Chain A
Amino acid sequence: MTERWTYEGFEMVVGLEVHVELDTATKLFSGSANRFGDDPNVHIDPVTLGLPGALPVLNARAVELGARIGLALGCTVQACVFARKNYFYPDMPKAYQISQYDKPLNIDGRLALSDGTVIGVERAHLEEDTGKSTHLGGSGRIHGSEGSLIDFNRAGVPLVEIVSRPDIVSPDQAREYVSELRAILVAIGASDARMEEGSMRVDANVSVRRPGEPLGTRCEIKNVNSVRSLGRAIDAEARRQVALITAGESVVQQTRHWDEGDGRTHALRSKEDADDYRYFPDPDLVPFVPSAEWIDEVRSALPPLPAKRRAALAVLCGVAADTEAVMTVVERGQDAYVAEVATHGADAARALVHVKEAFAELGARPGVPASDLAALVAMESSGAVTATQAKTLLGDLIDAGGGDPAALAAQRGFEAMDDGELVALVDAAIAAEPDAWQKYCAGEDKAMGALVGHVMKASRGQADGKAVSALLVSRRS
Chain B
Amino acid sequence: MAGRITDDDVAHVARLARLGLDPDDVQRAVAELGAVLEHFADIDALELDAVEPMAQPYPLTNVLREDVVTTSLDRDEVLAQAPDAVDGRFAVPPILGDGA
Contacts and interface: CB of A to CB of B under 8 A. Distances in A.
Q: Do chains A and B touch in the complex (CB under 8 A)?
A: yes
Contacts of B89: 40-41, 134, 149-151
Nearest to A144: B94
A58 B88 contact: no
Given A32-B69, A61-B67, A148-B91, A276 B16 contact: yes
Interface stretch (A285-293, A309-317, A433-441): A285-293
Contacts of A469: none
A271 B97 contact: yes
A173 interface: no
A377 B82 CA distance: 65
A255 B100 CA distance: 9
Contact of A283 (B55, B61, B75, B98): B55
Given A89-B100, A278-B16, A149 B86 contact: yes
A271 B62 CA distance: 38
B90 A271 contact: no
A277 B67 contact: no
B16 A45 contact: no
Contact of A90 (B16, B65, B92): B92
Nearest to A60: B64
Interface residues of B, number: 36
A3 to B, nearest CB: 34
A105 interface: no
Contact of B98 (A32, A44, A148, A271): A271
B42 to A, nearest CB: 22
Contacts of A268: 98
B95 A142 contact: yes
B78 interface: yes
Contacts of B72: 32-33, 42-45
A24 interface: yes
A63 interface: yes
Nearest to A143: B94
A150 B67 contact: no
Interface of A: 24-26, 30-33, 39-46, 49, 57-63, 85, 87-92, 97, 130, 133-135, 142, 145-152, 255, 268-269, 271, 273, 275-278, 281, 283, 285-289
Given A41-B78, A62-B67, A130-B99, 12 more contacts: A26-B67, A32-B70, A43-B72, A44-B72, A59-B67, A145-B95, A147-B92, A147-B93, A148-B91, A149-B90, A151-B88, A271-B97
25 contacts: A24-B67, A25-B68, A26-B69, A31-B70, A32-B70, A33-B69, A39-B88, A41-B79, A43-B72, A45-B73, A60-B67, A61-B66, A89-B95, A89-B97, A90-B90, A92-B99, A142-B94, A147-B94, A149-B92, A271-B97, A273-B12, A276-B16, A283-B55, A283-B56, A288-B64
